[in-house]
């Protein structure tokens, strides 16, 4: 079974989120699975969106009908990931039998990457273009989507980037700008088309806007209520999301 390195490492450093898959398989509902896992409904969907973004195919699918009018279920890919997670759990239990190996496992956990970036998209490097002291890194995401990141040439060398390298793009929610469908994007910026899936209003501050891309991956952006009203954006609206290549961080598997 071959999984993206970014998802495999996520299974090691964020096991409680992978464990959510088991609750979904057992409960058949996000609401019940979240309660069983000790998570809020929002935290559960945040976890699912992150897992789906890192995987080659969605791990969780919404199901229509049934008790309560609908629910969620694991895709075939999700079932395979859950089986692998259960095998890793068994291996970890064997490691914990030794105090020395248990300490080493804790060290590995501390060395794994953690980031505050809400948007983490798995992809591969397709090309690298030199721009003086910087490089423009072309990346292909799931579903054939392409974006670019501008990083220093030293970073390209340090990360060992070349065509075919597995990477994940990190983009903070505040770095995404929402445009109405058909609105002209800023020259040189990345621009992705999508549809607004959910808008979470805040009592104080910008709203959280969830955008689903044609690939099924989701982005999280922040937008003021006045901006959303001015563009007449609501759940179900077609939308564009733009962001500068310099606002895309690149990570590679350890």
| pLDDT tens per residue across span 57-96 | 888 887 665 444 457 889 898 898 888 877 776 765 655 5
pLDDT in tens, 166-186: 888 999 999 999 999 889 999
Which has more pLDDT, 90 or 126?
126
Tell me the percentage of the chain whose pLDDT exceeds 90. Answer: 40
Other beta carbons within 10 Å of 229: 10
Percent of the chain with pLDDT over 70: 79
Distance in angstroms (rounded) separating the CA atoms of residues 218 and 79: 21
* pLDDT at residue 239, as a whole number: 95
Q: What is the CATH number of domain 5-111?
A: 1.10.10.10
E strands, the chain, are 60-64, 70-74, 119-131, 134-141, 146-152, 166-171, 177-180, 190-200, 207-212, 218-223, 238-243, 249-251
**Average pLDDT rounded to a whole number, residues 24-53:** 87
In this predicted structure, what is the pLDDT of residue 57? 80
Which has the closest alpha carbon to 139: 120, 157, 158, 154? 120
Phi and psi angles of residue 84, each rounded to the nearest 5 degrees, phi first? -65, -40
List Cα–Cα distances, 90 to 5, 40, 85, 125, 254, in angstroms. 20, 28, 9, 34, 23
Contact 30, 24 (CB under 8 A): yes
Q: Is the pLDDT of residue 7 over 80?
A: no
- Read off the tokens for 213: 């891309």
CA 85/CA 235 separation, integer angstroms: 34
**How do the domains of the chain map onto residue ranges?**
5-111, 116-254
Q: 48: Cβ–Cβ under 8 A, 6 or more apart, which residues?
A: 20, 30, 59, 60, 72
What does each C-alpha distance from 5 to 8, 39, 122, 167, 253 come to in angstroms?
5, 26, 9, 9, 6
Let me know how long the chain is. 254
What is the pTM assigned to this prediction?
Answer: 0.64
Please report which confidence band the pLDDT of residue 146 belongs to, taking 50, 70 and 90 as the band edges: very high
Please state the rounded mean pLDDT for residues 97-102: 56
CATH number of 116-254: 2.40.50.100
Query: Cα 74 to the chain's mean position, in Å?
Result: 17
**pLDDT confidence band for 110 (50 / 70 / 90):** very low
pLDDT at 111: 47
CB 75 within 8 A of CB 14: no
DSSP state of 247: G
pLDDT band at 98 (very low <50, low <70, confident <90, very high): low
Average pLDDT (39-43) is: 86
Rounded CA separation 32/161 (Å): 42
Q: What angle do CA 77, 31, 170 make, to 5 degrees?
A: 55
d(CA 138, CA 136): 6
């Amino acid at each position: 079974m071959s999984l993206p390195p970014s998802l495999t490492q996520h299974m090691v450093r964020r096991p409680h989120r992978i464990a959510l898959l088991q609750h979904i398989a057992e409960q058949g509902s996000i609401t019940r699975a979240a309660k069983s896992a000790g998570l809020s409904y929002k935290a559960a969907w945040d976890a699912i969106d992150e897992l789906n973004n890192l995987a080659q195919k969605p791990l969780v699918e919404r199901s229509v009908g049934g008790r309560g009018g609908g629910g969620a279920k694991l895709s075939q890919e999700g079932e395979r990931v859950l089986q692998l997670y259960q095998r890793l759990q068994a291996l970890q239990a064997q490691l914990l039998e030794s105090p020395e190996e248990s300490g080493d496992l804790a060290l590995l956990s501390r060395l794994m990457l953690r980031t505050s970036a809400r948007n983490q998209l798995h992809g591969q490097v397709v090309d690298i273009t030199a721009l003086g002291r910087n490089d423009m890194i072309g990346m292909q995401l799931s579903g054939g989507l392409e974006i670019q990141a501008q990083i220093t040439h030293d970073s390209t060398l340090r990360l060992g980037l070349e065509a075919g390298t597995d990477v994940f793009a990190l983009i903070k929610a505040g770095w995404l700008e929402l445009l109405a469908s058909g609105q002209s994007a800023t020259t040189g910026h990345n621009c992705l088309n999508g549809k607004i899936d959910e808008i979470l209003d805040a009592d104080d501050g910008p709203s959280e806007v969830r955008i689903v891309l044609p690939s099924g991956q989701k982005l999280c952006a922040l937008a003021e209520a006045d901006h959303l009203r001015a563009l007449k954006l609501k759940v179900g609206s077609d939308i564009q999301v733009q962001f500068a290549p310099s606002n895309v961080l690149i990570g590679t598997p350890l």
